[in-house]
Amino acid sequence: MRKLRIILGYLTLVLIAISMLYPFFAMVNLSFVANNEIFSQAGQIFHSPLTLENYINVFEEIPLSTYFINSLIVAVITTFGQVVIASMAGYAFARLNFKYRDLLFLIILITMLIPPQVNIVPLFFLMRELHLIDTYQALILPGLFGGFGVFLMRQYFLGLPKDLEESARIDGCNLFETFFKIALPLAIPAVATLAIFTFVTTWNSFMWPLIVTNSEGMRTLPVGLAVYKGSFREITLWGELLACSVICTLPVIAVFLLGKKYFINDILQGGVKE
């Protein structure tokens, strides 16, 4: 009976995985089919003949490489910056005793309850006053700070034993050396998790880049694809849209695959326990 339950459990997981992966498989598959044949072959698992026409047309019709590079620059710098800032802030809240520490952390938690849309108008006026509209700085700076990252890193540092850090202090390490040589390497699972979440969120961000960019050369990939889709008048080029979607999805999958070891396994184990 127990083996039967295990088999049924695995079958259920396989069916769920197939139901979630099939739309992505269909998107990739149909992106290699000509526009006039997409709906006639939509129900098929494998399609023929396959062609690169959709991908070629997309790169010829819009500056897709510019959009891609802009998104990559913004996502990478934002991810790196938020990981560094959130890690240092989280470590300070977890290990240091300073005045109003708990009150400041409570304020950070409260900011997590505020919808991001509420901050768009004041952020826009701030960027305008700083003359940063339509620049990389405007796309990157608001994403460097986040309450979720500070909360995640603080909770992880609290779960780490203090013995190694105290030993490092006895050996003569200062606060920064203890953080970078001892605490941060032990927090790699939390760092990887925060990096994945930040990269995916920044890469898929649409509202803020749409508001803060004006020129075509500063558009990110989601904004550029939305503008491209809105340029259709008489007929929708589904093949080219599918090709754009595949290109937009690949970096997210690559980042998750690079960090899945920590995201799935190590973060569940919680690191070293006392």
**What Å distances lie between residue 153 and 11, 95, 102, 188, CA to CA?**
36, 12, 15, 10
* pLDDT band with cut points at 50, 70 and 90 for residue 103: very high
Spatial distance between the Cα atoms of 244 and 74, rounded to a whole number of angstroms: 19
What integer is the mean pLDDT of 98-126?
A: 88
Total-model pTM: 0.84
Cβ pair 187, 160 in contact under 8 A: yes
160-202 pLDDT per residue, tens: 888 888 887 887 888 888 888 888 888 888 898 899 999 999 9
Spatial distance between the Cα atoms of 149 and 11, rounded to a whole number of angstroms: 36
213-229 pLDDT per residue, tens: 988 889 999 888 888 77
Exposed / middle / buried, residue 17 (Cβ in 10 Å: 0-12, 13-18, 19+): exposed
Which pLDDT score, from 0 to 100, does residue 93 have?
Answer: 92
Percentage of residues in the chain with pLDDT exceeding 90?
A: 27
**What Å distances lie between residue 54 and 73, 241, 242, 250, CA to CA?**
25, 8, 8, 16
Residue 271 has pLDDT above 50, yes or no: no
6-41 pLDDT per residue, tens: 888 888 888 888 888 888 888 888 888 877 777 776
One of 3.30.9.10, 1.10.3720.10, 3.40.50.800, 2.40.30.110 is the CATH number of 62-269, namely 1.10.3720.10
Q: Where are the beta strands (DSSP E) in 42-194?
A: none
* pLDDT band with cut points at 50, 70 and 90 for residue 49: confident
Spatial distance between the Cα atoms of 85 and 244, rounded to a whole number of angstroms: 33
Spatial distance between the Cα atoms of 79 and 201, rounded to a whole number of angstroms: 10
Residue 267 has pLDDT above 60, yes or no: no
